[in-house]
């Protein structure tokens, strides 16, 4: 539970039936775990443990993911990390999550995608058996990968047909990679043909053009972030007309420097324009976010009423890639909140 929140508000928001649709497995490492694993591996940390999660921006942050994920080199560690993610969901009253996982960060597992998915799956299954929330996995490309590497990953997913995998994703740094929509078009086309859903990081380190490409070139069912769509009125109209949901992460955008203050954040302008928005944590442990805290922040800053809060929670469930059973259960519970 988020201790900086008044207890009553935290309790109410925990009881709000909701899903999380923008959450990275890579963002769920605790500092103490990283320090302990680094010690075991005889690896020096780049900074003292208390400063470990101080990032200068997205590029610095993404570099850190390579270090953290590199330490999760055994099945046991990956199972524990996956189980811990579900515990975090339960602590926030989250009923279901789509979890993004980007194989490029996990150096010890390269070439062993099936084994890696099995290890994650074992952690998620054990969590479900203990009554913790369900999870679907969105396997992610990195923006700086080549078209061939992207197609290779999608073909491997098509061959594996792993029941835990619900979607193809792409994340990473568009400011460094430049316009890469066309580079990934074939990979996304093949994923769609194979029945995978499609979710795309855009409009965080790219401007509106990245969001246009996500929809028009990659066929995105959902956009991760998408906040910089606010800079293009025609794009906002298109997102409203086509009802394409945005998985927005306010604290992440502040910590990684997309906006200087929550008062500058466009989530409320997008929501009130009719864009379907949900709130999410992105990389909760590394960026110091909790899902309850994100809802509370928006309620406090933008005056979201209970009805608005409920409507955002409904979007989170509708926009998720959960099974129809899980969605129906959560939506029924939400009606009574």
Residues contributing to the site for ligand ADE (CB under 6 A):
24, 26-27, 58, 171-172, 201, 204, 252, 282-283
- From residue 183, alpha-carbon distances to 146, 221, 277 in Å are 7, 18, 27
Catalytic annotation, pick one of 30, 204, 209, 294: 204
Q: Which is nearer to ligand ADE, 60 or 148 (CB)?
A: 60
Q: How many CB atoms lie within 10 A of CB 233?
A: 11
**Residue 294 contacts Zn ion per CB under 5 A:** no
* DSSP string across 38-55: HHHHT---SS-GGGTT--
Instruction: Tell which one of 174, 213, 282, 294 touches Zn ion (CB under 5 A).
Output: 282
Task: Residue 290: name its binding partner from Zn ion, ligand ADE, none (Cβ under 5 to 8 Å by kind).
Answer: none
> Which residues are CB-contacts of 307 (< 8 A; sequence separation ≥ 6)?
none
CB of residue 100 vs ligand ADE: minimum separation in angstroms?
7
Contacting range for Zn ion; rule: CB under 5 A; set: 80-88, 153-161, 277-285, 286-294: 277-285
- For the chain, how far is it from start to end, CA to CA, in angstroms? 19
Helices (H), the chain: 7-15, 31-41, 58-71, 75-91, 113-129, 147-160, 174-177, 181-193, 208-216, 233-242, 250-255, 267-272, 284-287, 291-302, 306-319, 324-335
* DSSP string across 249-280: -HHHHHHTTSSSSGGG-THHHHHHTT--EEE-
CB of residue 97 vs Zn ion: minimum separation in angstroms?
13
Q: Which is nearer to ligand ADE, 171 or 294 (CB)?
A: 171
Q: In degrees rounded to 5, what are phi and psi of residue 66? A: -60, -40
Task: Residue 294: name its binding partner from ligand ADE, Zn ion, none (Cβ under 5 to 8 Å by kind).
Answer: none
Task: Residue 26: name its binding partner from Zn ion, ligand ADE, none (Cβ under 5 to 8 Å by kind).
Answer: ligand ADE
Question: Hey, which residues does 248 pair with through a beta bridge?
Answer: 279
CB of residue 174 vs ligand ADE: minimum separation in angstroms?
8
**Residue 121 contacts Zn ion per CB under 5 A:** no
Residue positions counted in the chain: 337
CB of residue 121 vs ligand ADE: minimum separation in angstroms?
21
Task: Residue 172: name its binding partner from ligand ADE, Zn ion, none (Cβ under 5 to 8 Å by kind).
Answer: ligand ADE
Q: Which is nearer to ligand ADE, 31 or 240 (CB)?
A: 31
CB of residue 152 vs Zn ion: minimum separation in angstroms?
23
Q: How far apart are CA 27 and CA 241, in angstroms?
A: 33
Q: Is 26 tagged catalytic?
A: no
CB of residue 201 vs Zn ion: minimum separation in angstroms?
6
Q: In degrees rounded to 5, what are phi and psi of residue 277? A: -120, 145
Q: Which is nearer to ligand ADE, 12 or 225 (CB)?
A: 225
Catalytic residues: 204
Binding site for Zn ion (CB under 5 A): 282
């Amino acid at each position: 539970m988020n201790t900086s929140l008044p207890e009553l508000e935290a309790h109410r928001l925990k009881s709000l039936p909701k899903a999380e649709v923008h959450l990275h497995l890579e963002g769920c490492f605790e500092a103490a775990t990283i320090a302990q694993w680094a010690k075991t591996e005889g690896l020096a940390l780049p900074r003292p443990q208390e400063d470990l999660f101080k990032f200068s921006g997205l590029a610095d942050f993404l570099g850190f993911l390579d270090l953290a994920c590199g330490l999760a080199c055994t099945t046991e560690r990956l199972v524990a990390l996956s189980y811990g993610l579900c515990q975090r969901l339960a602590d926030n009253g989250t009923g279901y999550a789509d979890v993004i996982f980007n194989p490029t960060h996990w150096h010890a597992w390269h070439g062993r995608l099936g084994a890696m998915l099995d290890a994650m799956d074992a952690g998620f299954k054990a969590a479900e058996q203990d009554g913790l929330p369900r999870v679907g996995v969105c396997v992610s490309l990195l923006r700086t990968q080549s078209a061939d590497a992207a197609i290779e990953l999608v073909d491997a997913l098509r061959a594996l047909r792993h029941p835990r995998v619900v979607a193809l994703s792409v994340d990473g740094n568009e400011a460094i990679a430049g316009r890469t929509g066309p580079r990934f078009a074939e990979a996304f086309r093949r994923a769609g043909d194979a029945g995978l859903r499609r979710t795309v990081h855009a409009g965080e380190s790219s401007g509106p053009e990245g969001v246009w490409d996500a929809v028009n070139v990659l066929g995105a069912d959902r956009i991760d972030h998408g906040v910089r769509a606010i800079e293009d009125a025609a794009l906002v109209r298109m997102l409203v007309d086509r009802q394409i949901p945005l998985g927005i992460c306010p604290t992440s955008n502040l910590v990684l420097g997309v906006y200087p203050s929550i008062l500058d954040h466009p989530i409320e302008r997008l929501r009130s324009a009719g864009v379907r928005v949900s709130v999410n944590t992105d990389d909760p442990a590394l960026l110091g976010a909790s899902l309850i805290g994100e809802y509370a922040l928006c309620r406090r800053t933008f005056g979201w009423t209970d009805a608005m809060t409920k409507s955002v929670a409904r979007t989170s469930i509708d926009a998720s890639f959960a099974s129809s059973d899980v969605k129906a259960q959560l939506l029924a519970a939400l009606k009574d909140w």
